[in-house]
Structure 1
Amino acid sequence: MSTQNQMGRLPSRSEAMIPIVFLLAIMIANYTLGWGFDPHIPVTLSCGVAMIVGKVCGYNYKEMLAAGLEAVNQSLEAIIIILLVGCLIGSFTASGTIPAVVYYGLKLFTPIIFLPFVTILCAAVGVALGSAWTVTATLGIAFMAIGTTMGLNPALIAGAILSGACCGDKFSPLSDSTNLAAGSAQTGLFDHVAAMVTTTFPSLVIAVIIYAFFSFSKVGVYDPTLANELSAAILEHYTYMSPILLIPVLLIVVVAVIKMPAIPSVVLLSLLGCIFAVIFQGAGFADCIKMLHYGYHAQSNNELFTTLVNRGGMNSMLWTNNLVIVAVAFGGILQKIGAVESILGGFINKVKTPFQLVLLTMGTSIFCITTMCDQYLGLIIPASMYKDRFDEMGLGRNMLSRTLEDGGTLWSPLVPWSSCGAYHAAVLGVPTLLYLPYCFMNIINPIYAIVTLSWGGNILYVDGSKTNVFGKLKKGRGPAEAPEKAYDKAMKALAKIRSTKETNNIRV
């Protein structure tokens, strides 16, 4: 058999759309007919459909399989990090660190600033948990009940909860979506987290100010029963509860600042959580091994408490990683057969500025989530489509990862038929389309990113330099992590662009 690669033709736009339409049809059927929301099998079947299209266009099986496997290979670090994050969540729960964040946060509760407090605490706990889903299922349920007794609109309360929870999830090194965005863009985890500060933090501040206005004008009475019961359950279960348990959370910030590689930092923090569990909660070595693998488990009469702590473990991340593997392979096959180029090549060729590129990337991410009903596909597919274009414009890969989260992670809870939208609506008891207008953080963040980019603000270049919100160029912390070939390509492109701009007396 000949080992020579078979040269295939570019599929027509209608041929290229077949795998995507196939996936879209199954995912919509999943939602409308109640087949189940798990996207794994639909995406796997779509890989097969994409290969059939590729075969018709002249590509052979081995070429397409190799392309899918290569795409997975490029995401292996992210896959490993996601597994280790499961261990980290388990150890932080066993040590009492995550419950301590909730406990002391509730102690700071002030009814007169209910809505901004809800947003900020949900964001803080979201960073500690790395999961917006868990925040809404614990604090979210409690705050919905408390806010309702104050006479607040349930949709407004849900919006504040999701604004904070999604922001915390977006920022957290423990979040699977955060790790996936960094892995899909092939940049460093903490480079990605630092990049999001430029658009996400200002958006959060604006959202909190808006919630403060509603809180001052709307809040009435306050019933602290649910908050007190959750705090009591935490004290009853954990042998030791002290601000000392917050140290591991602070060390997350430290490893981010010193730019420690993601895998060693997650392993180190997981081990620290185990040490705290042994010292402060009386756990044994066998308990730590079990918790790192299967997560932490506790029994209590308080349902909010059990939902909060019964989580984590490497095993809990297998669902996510299974989807990552098949979704990344799907993107690799689509890229190989030229489906992406056929469908969006015209748009890509018209992109001339970072503003246009970010707008296209966000639009594609939102399109993927809205049509394919899954947040992860909204991160993976645009990354595979546009990362080369980011290099050609001399931009940092952390700007790509930031854009994926600005337009992807925050959009997912706003789509009623997505897994995120359906979940949050069911847990909070508020239909997605009702809380959507009040999710100020989710709405403001992508708008803020696009508007500031329109005049050249918040651009991250491959050499580490960046523009501030007003578009003024300044030195950054250093280059973000990127594949060597991509980095070299982007550096050459940036040098050429700056040379051209300097000729025209424009600084870039």
Structure 2
Amino acid sequence: MEETKVGSKKVRLPNFIEALIPIVVMMGLMLLGFVGKTGYTDAHMPLVVSICVACIIGGLCGHSFSDMLAGMLDRLNATMEAILILCTVGILVASFIMSGTIPAVIYYGLDLLTPRLFLPVGCIMCAIVGLACGSSWTATATIGIAFLGIGAGLGINPAITAGMIISGAYLGDKFSPLSDTTNLAAAVSGTGLFDHVTAMVSTTAPTFVIALILYTILGININTAGYDPQVAAGLQTALASKFNINPLLLIPIIVVIAACVMKLPGLVGIAISVFCGVLFAAIFQGMTNIGDIFKTLHYGITVETGNEIADKLLNRGGMDHQMWTINLILLAVAYGGALERCGCVDALFGGLKNKLHSVGQLVLATLLTSLFCDATMCDQFLGIGVPAPLYSDKYDEMGLARNMLSRTLEDCGTLWAVMFPWTGCGAYQMGVLGVHPFAYFPFAFVNLLNPIYAAITAFLGRNVFWADGAYTNIFGKTTMHKPAGAPEEAHEVAMKNLERLRAEGKAPKVGK
């Protein structure tokens, strides 16, 4: 058993059984809640118990409690900005509702979209907002909520609408240089940010096209017999009865996009957008009492229109509304930090690398490890950050570019984290959209298909980025491009291995 020293104490990696115990406890308690009908289905208490179990395993392996606590605090510190953004997103949603911005988007959207056009057009619009904002969370919490209302008015299943929203928002998030996961994936892989974004085009763009085709087919085949124009008309009437609706109310959304295009820090951009929402609430909705404004931003808005759909859509937002999700994220990140510090991840996956002998196997292993970390550590940041150091030298050994690693981390680590209701992403989107992840994920075609497409093309030797800048496209042709950024020593190792593999006929030559 491998041993190291922490201070004056010797510590070791847990064995395979020990490493599995905290994960089995977590998954067992979650399944007990969902399947056993205990009356408790949240992830919070299972996470608390699992953190305690992980600390016990760490103690058996020689870690002190202070060392385990330090591991948890390190991870929490790394995610505090995201948690602060989560607080402000709740305020942003409240400000956009009380200003009439979200009601206006719903109102005008019901005039512009039909059941057949709604899904593909909505996906594109969510992607644009996600790209400009650099945040899937902001996209779903603003335009996403609006599209839920439009979809309801058009008679479309909320699970399909939510899946479409998730697809578009996460696509935009992946491609945005402002996104935290995009920057994280590039950083932990040791490659350039725009090298990473370029690499993602090879897998995410095709799946986006496939998704749009599927959404178009769904739209064409939607049973419009359930579409009652009076539902849309009633929703519009309800919105107009409580809000002064006019096109100027769309300006706050433009402010959000402009702030991100100007590359303002996320918190600054959201703060400006909130101010704009409050200003518009005062000008157009007559909300000038400071106490009412603060209460709305803190606790969310309460609207009674007499229309069930409108009331369900509008009674949300506020900083306080986000606390359930924030509590879950704090516990999830602490749990992941405990697992990482006691060595559970290394014990489970450290030996796998020696059994990987092809690009397809390596990509699949990376995808599955990211998925495992998403599902068991409850955090997409760990789904990206944990596998990177495990496999980076293996990518060098196979002569691959580091942006091949970063792309693969995001293909699953970012996109599939939202499918689990006990992860920070899944819990947040479930809270914002009001649809369970197990219901919407089959319709989130970009998220669902992207890692599958990445794995299949890798096994076929396609969509591969090599260390010298060569790229093997989907048709199997290899052309030369600018090499992706990588640590100097790692790049030298990867180049020597690539030359050897080409000489052995195990890697394609440029022009072939």
- Which TM bucket (shorter chain)? 0.7 to 0.9
Does structure 1 residue 75 correspond to structure 2 residue 76? no
Give the 3 Å change call, closer, same or farther, for CA 266–306 of structure 1 in structure 2.
same
**1:457 aligned residue:** 463
Q: Is the 8 A contact 1:22 1:46 kept in 2?
A: yes
Amino acid in structure 2 at the alignment position of 1:234: L
TM-score by length of 1: 0.75
Give the equivalent residue in structure 2 for 1:28.
31
- Displacement of 1:498 in angstroms is 4.4
SS in 2 for 1:7: strand
Deviates more, 1:331-340 or 1:263-272: 263-272
Q: 3-state SS of the aligned residue for 2:350?
A: helix
Q: Give the 3 Å change call, closer, same or farther, for CA 91–206 of structure 1 in structure 2.
A: same
Q: In 1, are the aligned partners of 2:125 and 2:168 still within 8 Å (CA)?
A: no
| Corresponding residue for residue 407 of structure 1 | 416
- Counterparts of 2:96 and 2:197 in 1: how far apart (Å)? 20
1:211/1:369 CA distance change after superposition, 3 Å: same
Alignment pair present for 1:130 and 2:135: no
- Matching residue of 2:167: 167
- Residue 490 of structure 2 corresponds to 493
Give the conservation status (yes or no) of the 8 Å contact 1:91–1:277.
yes
Q: Partner of 1:386 in structure 2?
A: 387
Partner of 1:306: 311
> Which amino acid is the alignment partner of residue 72 of structure 1?
L
Name the stretch that deviates more: 224-233 or 120-129: 120-129
Distance 1:293 1:116 in 2: 35
Deviations 1:177-223 (A, max 9, x none): x97856975969x9899987765554343223234335445655442
Q: Of the candidates 10, 13, 17, which is equivalent to residue 10 of structure 1?
A: 13
Q: Deviations over 1:313-339 (max 9, x none)?
A: 222222222222221121112111111
Where does residue 283 of structure 2 map in the other structure?
A: 279
* Structure 1 residue aligned with 2:246: 241
Maintained 8 Å contact 1:390/1:400: no
Alignment CA distance shift 1:273-1:63 (3 Å): same
Taking structure 2 as the reference length, what is the TM-score of the superposition?
Answer: 0.74
Larger displacement relative to structure 2 (127-136 or 58-67): 127-136
Task: Identify unmatched segments of 5+ residues in structure 2.
Answer: 1-5, 130-135, 396-401, 503-507
| Structure 1 residues 75 and 220: CA distance shift in structure 2, 3 A | closer
Asked if the contact 1:182–1:401 (Cα under 8 Å) also holds between the matched residues in 2, the reply is: yes
**Contact 1:85 1:266 (8 Å CA) reproduced:** yes
Cα deviation, residue 56, structure 1: 1.3
1:295 corresponding residue in structure 2: 300
Kept in 2, the 8 Å contact 1:75–1:183? The answer is no
User: Distance in 1 between the 2:330 and 2:284 partners?
Assistant: 38
**1:245/1:288 CA distance change after superposition, 3 Å:** same
Matches of residues 34-433 of structure 1 in structure 2 within 5 Å?
34-113=38-117, 116=120, 128-130=139-141, 138-139=149-150, 141-143=152-154, 146=155, 157=157, 160-171=160-171, 181=181, 199-200=203-204, 202-216=206-220, 219=223, 221=225, 222-242=227-247, 244-284=248-288, 285-350=290-355, 356=361, 358-367=363-372, 377=378, 379-389=380-390, 392=393, 393=395, 394-395=402-403, 400-401=409-410, 403-409=412-418, 411-412=419-420
Deviation at 1:273, TM superposition (A): 2.1
How far did residue 80 of structure 1 move? Answer: 1.6
Partner Cα separation in structure 1 for residue 125 and residue 235 of structure 2: 15
2:300·2:321 contact (CA, 8 Å) conserved in 1? yes
Following the alignment from structure 2 to structure 1, what is the Cα–Cα distance between the partners of residues 143 and 292?
27
| Separation in 2, partners of 1:196, 1:277 | 40
Q: Does the aligned pair in 2 maintain the 1:89–1:312 contact within 8 Å?
A: yes
Number of residue-to-residue matches in the alignment = 466
User: Residues 497, 260 of structure 1: CA spacing in aligned structure 2 closer, same or farther, 3 A cutoff?
Assistant: farther
Letter of the structure 1 residue corresponding to residue 236 of structure 2: S
- Give the Cα–Cα distance (whole angstroms) in 2 for the partners of residues 278 and 421 of structure 1: 29
Counterpart of 2:132 in structure 1 is none
Question: 1:312 & 1:426 partners in 2: Cα distance?
Answer: 12
Tell me how far 1:381 sits from its aligned partner. 3.9
AA of the residue aligned to 1:382: G
Whether the aligned pair in 1 keeps the contact of 2:153 and 2:231 (CA below 8 Å) is yes
Across the aligned residues of Structure 1 and Structure 2, the Cα RMSD in angstroms comes to 4.4
**Would the alpha carbon gap of residues 344 and 111 (structure 1) be closer, same or farther in structure 2, given more than 3 Å must change?**
closer
Structure 2 counterpart of 1:27, which letter? Answer: M
2-side partners of 1:264 and 1:355: how far apart? 42
For 2:287 and 2:80, how far apart are their aligned partners in 1?
32
Is the CA contact (8 Å cut-off) linking 1:87 and 1:292 kept in structure 2?
yes
Q: Deviations over 1:337-396 (max 9, x none)?
A: 1111111112245557776555334324444666x5xxx815244234213246655338
Q: Partners in 2 of 1:172 and 1:288 — Cα distance? A: 31
Q: CA deviation at 1:90?
A: 1.8
Partner in structure 1 of residue 3 of structure 2? none
Q: Structure 1 pair 324/87, CA: closer, same or farther in 2 (3 Å)? A: same
Question: Residue type matched to 1:6 in 2?
Answer: K
Alpha-carbon distance between aligned partners in 2 of 1:259 and 1:472, rounded to the nearest angstrom = 33
SS at match of 1:8: strand
* Higher mean displacement: 319-328 or 48-57: 319-328
Q: CA deviation at 1:172?
A: 6.9
The letter of the residue matching 2:13 is: L
Structure 2 letter corresponding to 1:377 = C
Aligned to 2:89, the other structure's residue is in SS state: helix
Note if contact 1:90-1:292 (Cα within 8 Å) is conserved in structure 2: yes
Deviations along 1:202-257, one digit per CA (max 9) or x if unpaired, are: 43432232343354456554421222211222221112421x32233234333444
Counterpart amino acid of residue 166 in structure 1: I
Judge which range, 326-335 or 20-29, deviates more: 326-335
CA contact (8 A) 2:298 2:319 kept: yes
Q: Residues 467 and 378 (structure 1 numbering): CA distance in 2 closer, same or farther, change over 3 Å?
A: farther
